[in-house]
Amino acid sequence: MLKFILIAVAAILLTIGLVKLIDKFIPSKFKPVISIGLWVLIGFLAYQTYMSIYTPILFNQERNRRYTKVIKNLIDIRDSQLAYKQVNGKFTDNFDSLVKFIENGKYTIIQRRDASVIDEELSRRFGVDTYKDIVIIDTLGFVSVKDSLFKKSNRYKTMMNVPAGKEGEKFQLEAGFIKQNDMNIPVFEASVKKEVILFDQDRDMIIQENQVVSVDGVNGDALKVGSMNEVNTNGNWPKTYGSAE
């Protein structure tokens, strides 16, 4: 883009120079037509230079606005998945199951306390009362997952819909297990391609956005939270868009 701007500026300066040369050496009867044509060319090049600077600014503003909306839904999906795993021991790849869980699921509230009790085996062996330490877990009650995560909001019912970009699109949701230290660890990933979010924007800008590699940008060709390749429930966006944790 910088190269194009420099070329356009050079062309404008060259055209202005030509206008002055024409004014000095071209016969008077030809000057009006040629001068008008050159000034039209100057105006066109100036407009192109302006748009080459302004188009990325508009794109970035619209991208940031849309990404912010999408990330809010991804955070809701992540929080709902973590709650689902806490109760069920795994993640789900089905939004209907996730919504149903939020509406009907409950957290168990427990209290852990230390206590000492008689160790009957050791007491018989030594002939005196011998105690051992144990942990007692008391169930205090249950709390609604919906009330805990969403209070009075029903936005969980639409969190699967991509809220910006191409109409009618939904997030892709995957879940499964990966092997780590001989253990099957549950993982999930929710994602949407950038080209879905930015479908109606400048094509060249979308291509550049898909190739972003930056600490203050969203790397890769999609916005996502979680991972199917590693134990990770973070989002791939920087903190400028919202919490990734």
pLDDT confidence of residue 94: 97
Share of the chain above pLDDT 70, in %: 69
On the question of pLDDT at 189 being above 70, the answer is: yes
Residue carrying structure tokens 């230290």: 181
What number is the average pLDDT over the span 178-196? 94
**What does the alpha-carbon distance between residue 148 and residue 108 come to, in Å, rounded to a whole number?**
12
In 35-105, beta strands by DSSP E: none
- Average pLDDT of the segment spanning 66-92: 95
Task: Give 105 or 223, the one with higher predicted confidence.
Answer: 223
The answer to whether residue 15 is domain-embedded is yes
Q: What pLDDT score does 197 carry?
A: 97
Dihedral pair phi/psi, residue 174, rounded to 5°: -125, 155
**167-176 pLDDT, tens per residue?**
999 999 999 9
The verdict on residue 174 lying in a domain is no
Indicate the SS3 state at residue 235.
strand
- The pLDDT assigned to 129 comes to 72
Share of the chain above pLDDT 90, in %: 49
Q: Residue 181 carries which DSSP code?
A: T
Which of the pair, 182 or 233, is modelled with greater confidence? 233
Structural domain count, the chain:
1
Per-residue pLDDT tens over the stretch 193-238: 999 999 999 999 999 999 988 888 899 999 999 999 999 999 999 9
Please write the tens of the pLDDT for every residue from 3-59: 545 555 666 666 666 666 666 666 666 656 666 766 676 666 665 665 666 678 899
Q: Which residue type occupies 222? A: A
Single-letter residue type at 143: V
124 versus 244: which is more confidently predicted? 124
Expressed as residue numbers, the domain containing 14 is 2-55
**Residue 51 lies inside a defined structural domain of this protein:** yes
Domain-located, residue 143 = no
pLDDT at 110: 47
